[in-house]
Amino acid sequence: MAVYTEVGDEELVDFAAEYDIGEVLSCKGIAEGIENSNFALATTDGNFILTLYEKRVNPDDLPFFLGLMDHLAEAGIPCPTPVHGRDGKALRRLCGRPAAIVTFLSGMWPRRITPDHTAELGAALAKLHLAGADFTMSRANSLSLESWRPLLARSEDRADEVMPGLAGELGGELDTLEEGWPHGLPSGVIHADLFPDNVFFRDGKLTGMIDFYFACTDMFAYDLGVCLNAWCFEPDLSFNITKARRMLTAYRKVREFSAAEMEAMPLLAQGSAMRFLLTRLYDWLHTPKDALVTCKDPLEFVAKLRFHLGVKGPGDYGLE
Amino acid sequence: MAVYTEVGDEELVDFAAEYDIGEVLSCKGIAEGIENSNFALATTDGNFILTLYEKRVNPDDLPFFLGLMDHLAEAGIPCPTPVHGRDGKALRRLCGRPAAIVTFLSGMWPRRITPDHTAELGAALAKLHLAGADFTMSRANSLSLESWRPLLARSEDRADEVMPGLAGELGGELDTLEEGWPHGLPSGVIHADLFPDNVFFRDGKLTGMIDFYFACTDMFAYDLGVCLNAWCFEPDLSFNITKARRMLTAYRKVREFSAAEMEAMPLLAQGSAMRFLLTRLYDWLHTPKDALVTCKDPLEFVAKLRFHLGVKGPGDYGLE
């Protein structure tokens, strides 16, 4: 949970006056998101989310993120829509930080994942991938293959504090990933961080996907790799093949993936496990103990990485 | 900021079904309150606050707190109104904790206090005191005089870590308070914790008073002492006599205080400074460094205590 910046009442009223969103009724910091400060903003027109972008977000990326949400919302994807001010701008400053107001999405993220959730997710992810096709901006994935060795180097000397042998295991796995990483697979806009707490449901139906602040231009199948890791393991870290099958089957009904994408999926899923493992490992070793945020355990992704290493073919993900 | 308990989507839907509040649209933990877990709950009927009572609140006190809010709201005091379920109950359980839903109040708490704010506050506090007169339940102030010496005893051996000589100064001051503490002054329901972050304003008008979880039966003038400490000192800890005069003047227009109350006010204000100093001192010395909450500096109240020790009469609070 995190609210890094406290927004004063007077500043907020001035800020909100730049928008056609009615009069501010209240603004409460919400305990979600670890990168930015988020507020539930109630006005006479309804509910909104106010986000102040903190230092972990590169301000140069904000036009991409906000433009993407505009584009996807326009295409009917259930994502937050940036609210544009009277001057047409969606991005302005508040309390010395870049800030934006987006629409409020109903629904809650699911604590207990069922195969029905993963089927809904698969279809929504495919629609997101298709809807991004005519989005003209691009953004490299700054947390893909090239970043992982430098990221490991920053934690390497202390990685064995977390698990004996971890540094060596990850170094070896990076060799494998660097050697086999696919090229030329279908690519476009991906979410890249579509964990359950970024997906809202209501009455079993997917109602929203949020937090596009890792979105980038990369292989669609990599996004599926992220979702395999984020949605298809049980709390005991065993792989639930039913959840994977439902997710991938629902996805391909909307956007069929090629044999080459299917073939690359175990390696892409290993890569995605590596990405979350490395950022969590870094945070685990470098976050002061008195920080506002709680670190997530990196070892969860060691188990996931090892699972994908053992995958022999599509059957292990529940496909024919 | 604090959300101690995470509420699952399925549990929440079942819980909300006990009330006539429409269908749950979303529920987000809010970064306010340090005693309980609070959530902004949006339903098809509007916005509400869901509170889960954590271990610092005695469950036996909850009927008093909720009954008081019912009573005050009925009397037109702008405070949260407990929402009663279909079975008539306002208090039930969620995630193993006592829980209640209250109405949502508009407004924001003021970051920069002006004399206009303190005038609004004074009038509202007096109305609250009058409205409580026919409330039939009572609750002793568990953080009044009798509690201070035992509370100091729990921090005494380490108090000088915070400021050299602090333990001795507080011990001597406790002698003074115990000797001079008034009896027989007008008493009734007091809020006992009416700091600026518990009071909402909109367009300069007071729209809400929240957080009744220290409310109790005690001297009205003690509540004024709390507000003198909470509202009438500048960030540099100098006393702002204009704010005090506006607050007390607005108060007495609604409920006149007696000469005896006025005479007791410096000592009651010392007592109130002592109460916040002692709880903050305890938290400062006993909260683990990795806790979710940020401790407030106890020394602020040493300065306030010393100011009230030097008060010679009503003129020092801005009164004739």
| Mean per-residue pLDDT over chain A, rounded | 94
Q: What residues of chain B lie within 8 A of the CB of A29, using their CB?
A: 1, 30-32
Determine, for residues B106 and A42 on separate chains, whether the beta-carbon distance falls below 8 Å. Answer: yes
Asked if the model's pLDDT at residue A265 lies above 80, the reply is yes
Asked if the model's pLDDT at residue B1 lies above 50, the reply is no
Tell me how far apart the alpha carbons of residues B36 and A212 are, in angstroms, rounded to a whole number: 31
Q: What residues of chain A lie within 8 A of the CB of B40, using their CB?
A: 28, 30, 40
| CB within 8 Å of A16: residues ≥ 6 apart | A23, A24, A41, A43, A101
Q: State the smallest CA–CA distance between residue A66 and chain B in angstroms.
A: 22
The ipTM estimated for the assembled molecules is 0.86
Tell me how far apart the alpha carbons of residues B89 and B82 are, in angstroms, rounded to a whole number: 9
Q: What residues of chain B lie within 8 A of the CB of A105, using their CB?
A: 26
Determine, for residues A25 and B106 on separate chains, whether the beta-carbon distance falls below 8 Å. Answer: yes
In this predicted structure, what is the pLDDT of residue A119?
A: 98
Domains and CATH numbers, chain B: 9-103 (3.30.200.20), 115-317 (3.90.1200.10)
Confidence band, pLDDT 50/70/90 cuts, at residue A305: very high
| Mean per-residue pLDDT over chain B, rounded | 94
Tell me how far apart the alpha carbons of residues A191 and A198 are, in angstroms, rounded to a whole number: 10
In this predicted structure, what is the pLDDT of residue B320?
A: 78
In this predicted structure, what is the pLDDT of residue A320?
A: 78
Mutation target vs A (from B13, B28, B293; most A CBs, 10 A cutoff): B28
In this predicted structure, what is the pLDDT of residue B292?
A: 55
Determine, for residues A40 and B30 on separate chains, whether the beta-carbon distance falls below 8 Å. Answer: yes
Asked if the model's pLDDT at residue B137 lies above 90, the reply is yes
Determine, for residues B28 and A8 on separate chains, whether the beta-carbon distance falls below 8 Å. Answer: no
Phi then psi for B217, rounded to 5 degrees?
-100, 115
Cα nearest neighbour of B288 on chain A: A290
Asked if the model's pLDDT at residue B293 lies above 70, the reply is no
More confident of the two residues A35 and A255: A255
In this predicted structure, what is the pLDDT of residue B318?
A: 95
Confidence band, pLDDT 50/70/90 cuts, at residue B164: very high
Structure tokens at A32: 């979600």
Q: In which element (H, E) is residue A187 found?
A: strand A187-190
Mutation target vs B (from A26, A43, A51, A290; most B CBs, 10 A cutoff): A26
- The answer to whether residues B282 and B296 touch, using CB atoms and an 8 Å cutoff, is no
Cα nearest neighbour of A294 on chain B: B292
Query: What is the bridge-based pairing of β-strands A97-103 and A46-52?
Result: antiparallel
Cα nearest neighbour of A12 on chain B: B108
Determine, for residues A9 and B292 on separate chains, whether the beta-carbon distance falls below 8 Å. Answer: no
pLDDT, tens digit (0-9, with 9 covering 90-100), for B174-213: 999 999 999 999 999 999 999 999 999 999 999 999 999 9
Phi then psi for B177, rounded to 5 degrees?
-65, -45
In this predicted structure, what is the pLDDT of residue A223?
A: 98
Amino acid at B2: A
In this predicted structure, what is the pLDDT of residue A1?
A: 41
Q: State the smallest CA–CA distance between residue A293 and chain B in angstroms.
A: 8
In the numeric block, the tokens 């002692």 are attached to B278
pTM of the model: 0.90
User: Residue A239 burial by CB count (10 A; 0-12/13-18/19+): exposed, middle or buried?
Assistant: buried
- The answer to whether residues B122 and B249 touch, using CB atoms and an 8 Å cutoff, is yes
Confidence band, pLDDT 50/70/90 cuts, at residue A294: low
Tell me how far apart the alpha carbons of residues B202 and A57 are, in angstroms, rounded to a whole number: 33
Determine, for residues B6 and A111 on separate chains, whether the beta-carbon distance falls below 8 Å. Answer: yes
Q: State the smallest CA–CA distance between residue B311 and chain A in angstroms.
A: 33
Mutation target vs B (from A4, A47, A108; most B CBs, 10 A cutoff): A108
Q: What strand order describes the sheet that includes B97-103? A: B24-29, B37-43, B46-52, B97-103, B92-94
- The answer to whether residues A281 and A257 touch, using CB atoms and an 8 Å cutoff, is no
Asked if the model's pLDDT at residue A278 lies above 90, the reply is yes
In this predicted structure, what is the pLDDT of residue B56?
A: 81
Structure tokens at A103: 């629409």
Q: What is the mean pLDDT of residues B234-251?
A: 97
Q: What residues of chain A lie within 8 A of the CB of B289, using their CB?
A: 289-290
Q: State the smallest CA–CA distance between residue A210 and chain B in angstroms.
A: 13
